[in-house]
Chain A
Amino acid sequence: MLTKIAGGDIIDPVNGRLGKGDLWIRDDMLVGAPAGASADRTIDAAGCIVMAGAIDIHSHIGGGNVNTARLLLPEQHAAHQARPAATPLSNAGWSTFQTGCLYAKMGFTTVVEPAMSPGAALHTHLELADIPIIDKATLAILGNDDFLLSMIRDDASSQMIEDYVAWTVASTRALGVKVINAGAAAAFKENVRTFSLDDVVPSYGVSSRKIVKTLQAAVDSLGVPHPLHVHCNNLGSPGSADTAASTMAAAEGLPLHLAHLQFYGYGTEGKRKFSSAAARLAELVNTTPEVTIDIGQVMFGQTVTISSDVMRQFSARGSASPKKSVIHDGDGNGGGIVPYNYGKDFYGTMQWAIGLELFLLIDDPWRVFFTTDHPNGAPFTTYPALFELLMSREARTEMTAGLSKSAMALSTLAAIDREYTFEEIAIMTRAAPAKLLGLTDRGHLGAGAIADIAIYRRCGNIAKMLGQAAYVFKDGDLVVQDGEITHYRWGKALRLNPSPDKAMVRRLEDYHQQRYGLSLDWFNFPDSAIAREQPFGEVACRT
């Protein structure tokens, strides 16, 4: 089928297309204007912005910890709307089905779950497979697991480490690797309660820095397109800007991605010893080209924090609202679920302002990524409001009126004039994520790309415009019209598939037999276990 999207304002920074024009889709792909052919279907995009489908690089949408959070908080997602015939279960609050629909309505077509515990890979992929419409991907968590820490302690060769990382990525069907408070979860099991970059995991004698550097090198050397995704130490603590600064310095010329930098944007000034260090961190990002970051913006209201940083979540239990939490010591990281309500008080305002300062003070939209660390800073459903804050100084000023004045006094936000343009939004939420993840088939509107397209009708209200797309195509299939989902389709989980080294597989088999009394069969699974047609899509490693 040949579809023509006619007369829209095309914003495609990768191909240098900005301005009125047509797009052509043949079946599931974008194609050049076919000579003499007539379209089977024409979408009138006059008065609309046309961009590639958006890509979210860091959103906790599925897996053991997310599901535990759902279980912990039934009162927070009671459903009310009647049963939709075309999209079953999309009315179920916080269900996988609703997740896919809400993302698609905003024009997002690919979302990365950034914290997959390798031992729970099957569970994670089963949840992702029940998220309709969009494509998904996962990052596998390493860096608190005994196997890796033992190898580092025993000075294993970098080849062996790479073999282990490759096996983990391949067997868990991941698109990349994440390290979360490297070493801290292991140290916490030995009753250590705080942990920094140069602290050493007891029993292994290995520092957090060493773990990060080892994984960074392995990921780079294996040609994993996405740089090591780092959740730094000391998340949320006053003074954590120092930790983030040291971690950026540790990149040392090799690519490194720092997740949810907002949660480390904290200085120790003011009478509460809690202040904005955003300007300092933004300057460091601006001058460290090998570093990319995402924000983890805070928006006000009730949410729940879901993190595999079990040490941090344990120490945050006291702030749980409502007063219940889950702390799980897992085989590697484990995790913690702590519900939280961001109020417009001093602390909430400070966090909100710091996130925006980072967005606005980091110059290069190719290196700053649009996230709320869903649901940790805010649910992803706040994205439209966040776009508006980035694109309108006036919207920020209006919002600031109801916030803590003493917090705003410690932030530079009020003095920042910058407003994101649509082109910058297209880079930050489409072009740059595709590049960062190694997804050459999306993030742009050139011929040969998959037809993931979001079309927004221009109106004075940015949040409304970007919150409810006029049309969304996923793989050429028109799935959203006038902000409503028309039908389900099933996307893929994008994965790398490096071939595992046979000697490493034997070694891991022995290890699992000896240490867990189980063969590796207990953890492996065939694609058929997902029970969907083509559950995975393969992405190539760099050569």
Chain B
Amino acid sequence: MAVAWIGNRETLVERAAAHAAALLGSSRCPVFSLDTDIHGTRAAIALAERVGAAYDHADGAALSRETALFTDKGAMTVAPGETRRRADVVVIVGELPQIYHEFVGELAETVPDLSAKNQREFFLVGPNGASAPPLSNGRTGTLLSCGEASLGSTLAALRAQYRGRQTSQPVSNFDDFAKALAAARFPVFLFSGDATEGLALEMLQGLIADLNRTSRASGLHLPASENGWGSALASTWMTGFPLRTGFARGFPDFDPWRYDVARMIAAGEADLHLRISSSIVPPQKKRNRMALIALAKTQKPVAGAAVTIAIGEAGVDHEAVVYSSRTGSLRSVDARAASELPSAATIIRLVASHISAEVALPC
């Protein structure tokens, strides 16, 4: 089975890695986009430091909204386990990524065992016609909306009404919500940066802070991408900063606008793109003239890539450490179907070993 290509030509992994290293070594402005496990991220950041690259998540926009909530404002959050065991009111804020529908279903099928109430009510914040993930037994969440208004405006109206202020357009079903909150011991708001603009995330935190003046409430962060959030955590301990950090100046420099890798590519600033996908992402078609190095689970060269190296899928082909939004922390996963395919970390270290005679990568 072929596992490495230079252009469309099959080659040895060692040669493909050396070629990738040469491209990185001569690049003026390399950029990395990551969709990988913790050890893949660690190796990629160590490599980025060595070659002066900027790095971002493959879906950098959603992750950036989530990290901005923390870097700019702070938050009140709760662990997923506590949510299951304590939340007597669950408020789904906007549309949650598909991967969380199962967890929402689980919340609907269970009752909070650490709450005196032993039942859960569901609400959904969103525009008219918004739909929550399916709950069990045909239950539905009560919709809190301001017609077609944005999520941010709806949350602002909700917050204002909760404080007893007039709003230009009242939130639908507000009385039901107010009644539920009055009886609630621990309401939890489920949020993600996926389809939620940054201002809405801040407004939600404002509402949670207001609630906490008199009773408890918190927010459960369900990251738009689990790999993305895992990478953000590893990047933060390794460099002090989340993704959208660059090493062009020889030290880690965090700038969510400047190091937005999609922007750097679109603006023609980047001249080399290293794309790492440890999950199965359909190989994208290259849309520009910049050189591409693709690390992906693939049996053929990625169209247009200067170098393609096949890597395994984390937790399938090899054991891995990943972020789990089900535990709210990092988790070790076994290989479900162990294969010979190497991990992203292994290939990145191999590439780095060809770059110079310097010390080995620190991760």
Contact of B326 among A96, A487, A518 (CB under 8 A): A518
Tell which of B80-88, B150-158, B265-273 binds the partner: B80-88
The 0/1 profile, CB within 8 Å of A marked 1, for residues 48-81 of chain B is 0110000000000000000100111111111101
**Restricting to A488-543, which residues have a CB under 8 Å from any CB of B?**
488, 515-518, 522-526, 528-529, 531
Q: List 27 A-B contacts (CB under 8 A).
A: A70-B236, A70-B240, A78-B254, A79-B252, A82-B251, A88-B49, A88-B359, A89-B49, A89-B239, A89-B252, A91-B250, A92-B239, A119-B329, A126-B321, A127-B237, A130-B237, A320-B74, A327-B76, A329-B79, A330-B79, A334-B78, A334-B79, A488-B362, A517-B84, A517-B106, A528-B319, A529-B319
A16 CB to closest chain B CB (Å) equals 40
The 0/1 profile, CB within 8 Å of A marked 1, for residues 317-350 of chain B is 0010100101111111000000000000100000
What is B's interface to A at a CB cutoff of 8 Å? 38-39, 42, 46, 49-50, 67, 70-79, 81-82, 84-86, 106, 110, 113-114, 116, 185-186, 212, 215-216, 218, 232-234, 236-242, 247, 250-254, 319, 321, 324, 326-332, 345, 358-359, 361-363
Report chain B residues within 8 Å CB of A523: 327, 331
Whether B359 contacts A85 by the Cβ 8 Å rule is: yes
Report chain B residues within 8 Å CB of A97: 238, 362
Whether A191 contacts B215 by the Cβ 8 Å rule is: yes
Q: A70-B237, A71-B67, A88-B46 are in contact. Are A328 and B329 (CB under 8 A)?
A: no
Contact of B237 among A62, A86, A88, A93 (CB under 8 A): A62
CA distance A331 to B220 in the complex (A): 13
CA distance A488 to B359 in the complex (A): 9
Report chain A residues within 8 Å CB of B240: 70, 74, 77, 79, 92-95
CA distance A320 to B209 in the complex (A): 14
Q: A122-B329, A524-B332, A529-B319 are in contact. Are A516 and B233 (CB under 8 A)?
A: no
Report chain B residues within 8 Å CB of A91: 250-251
CA distance A131 to B110 in the complex (A): 41
Report chain A residues within 8 Å CB of B73: 324
Report chain B residues within 8 Å CB of A337: 74
Nearest chain B residue, comparing its CB with the CB of A523: B327
Report chain B residues within 8 Å CB of A78: 253-254
Q: A83-B49, A88-B46, A191-B216 are in contact. Are A95 and B237 (CB under 8 A)?
A: yes
A307 CB to closest chain B CB (Å) equals 15
Report chain B residues within 8 Å CB of A516: 81, 84-85
Report chain A residues within 8 Å CB of B86: 189
Report chain A residues within 8 Å CB of B321: 122, 126, 525, 529, 531
**Restricting to A314-336, which residues have a CB under 8 Å from any CB of B?**
314, 320, 324-331, 334
Q: Indicate whether A146 reaches chain B with its CB closer than 8 angstroms.
A: yes
Report chain B residues within 8 Å CB of A327: 75-77, 218
A279 CB to closest chain B CB (Å) equals 38
Whether A326 contacts B75 by the Cβ 8 Å rule is: yes
B91 CB to closest chain A CB (Å) equals 16
Report chain A residues within 8 Å CB of B50: 88
Contact of B329 among A64, A70, A89 (CB under 8 A): A64
Q: Indicate whether A80 reaches chain B with its CB closer than 8 angstroms.
A: yes
CA distance A70 to B236 in the complex (A): 7
Known: A67-B233, A82-B251, A334-B78. 12 other contacts (CB 8 A): A79-B240, A81-B251, A82-B250, A92-B252, A119-B327, A120-B330, A189-B86, A326-B75, A327-B76, A329-B79, A517-B84, A531-B321
CA distance A79 to B241 in the complex (A): 10
What is A's interface to B at a CB cutoff of 8 Å? 62, 64, 66-68, 70-72, 74, 77-83, 85-86, 88-89, 91-97, 119-120, 122-123, 126-127, 130, 132, 146, 188-191, 203, 314, 320, 324-331, 334, 337, 487-488, 515-518, 522-526, 528-529, 531
Report chain B residues within 8 Å CB of A62: 237
Report chain B residues within 8 Å CB of A515: 81, 84-85, 113
B117 CB to closest chain A CB (Å) equals 12
Report chain A residues within 8 Å CB of B212: 314
Whether B332 contacts A525 by the Cβ 8 Å rule is: yes
CA distance A499 to B264 in the complex (A): 53
Whether A92 contacts B84 by the Cβ 8 Å rule is: no
Report chain A residues within 8 Å CB of B113: 515
CA distance A314 to B42 in the complex (A): 33
Q: A74-B240, A92-B238, A326-B75 are in contact. Are A130 and B327 (CB under 8 A)?
A: no
CA distance A130 to B42 in the complex (A): 10
Report chain B residues within 8 Å CB of A191: 185, 215-216
Nearest chain A residue, comparing its CB with the CB of B239: A92
Whether B76 contacts A326 by the Cβ 8 Å rule is: yes
Report chain A residues within 8 Å CB of B76: 326-329
Nearest chain B residue, comparing its CB with the CB of A121: B329
Report chain B residues within 8 Å CB of A522: 324, 326-327, 331
CA distance A64 to B230 in the complex (A): 12
Nearest chain B residue, comparing its CB with the CB of A488: B362
CA distance A327 to B326 in the complex (A): 19
Please list the 4 inter-chain residue pairs (A to B) with the smallest Cβ-Cβ separation, ordered nearest first: A525-B332, A79-B251, A324-B74, A529-B332
CA distance A64 to B321 in the complex (A): 15
Report chain B residues within 8 Å CB of A487: 359
Whether A324 contacts B327 by the Cβ 8 Å rule is: no
CA distance A526 to B331 in the complex (A): 11
CA distance A324 to B206 in the complex (A): 12
A289 CB to closest chain B CB (Å) equals 40
CA distance A77 to B359 in the complex (A): 26
CA distance A35 to B130 in the complex (A): 84
CA distance A190 to B186 in the complex (A): 8
Report chain B residues within 8 Å CB of A488: 359, 362
Whether A123 contacts B330 by the Cβ 8 Å rule is: yes
Whether A88 contacts B362 by the Cβ 8 Å rule is: yes
CA distance A110 to B262 in the complex (A): 42
CA distance A78 to B76 in the complex (A): 25
CA distance A439 to B75 in the complex (A): 40
Contact of B362 among A74, A79, A132, A326 (CB under 8 A): A132
Report chain B residues within 8 Å CB of A66: 237
B329 CB to closest chain A CB (Å) equals 4
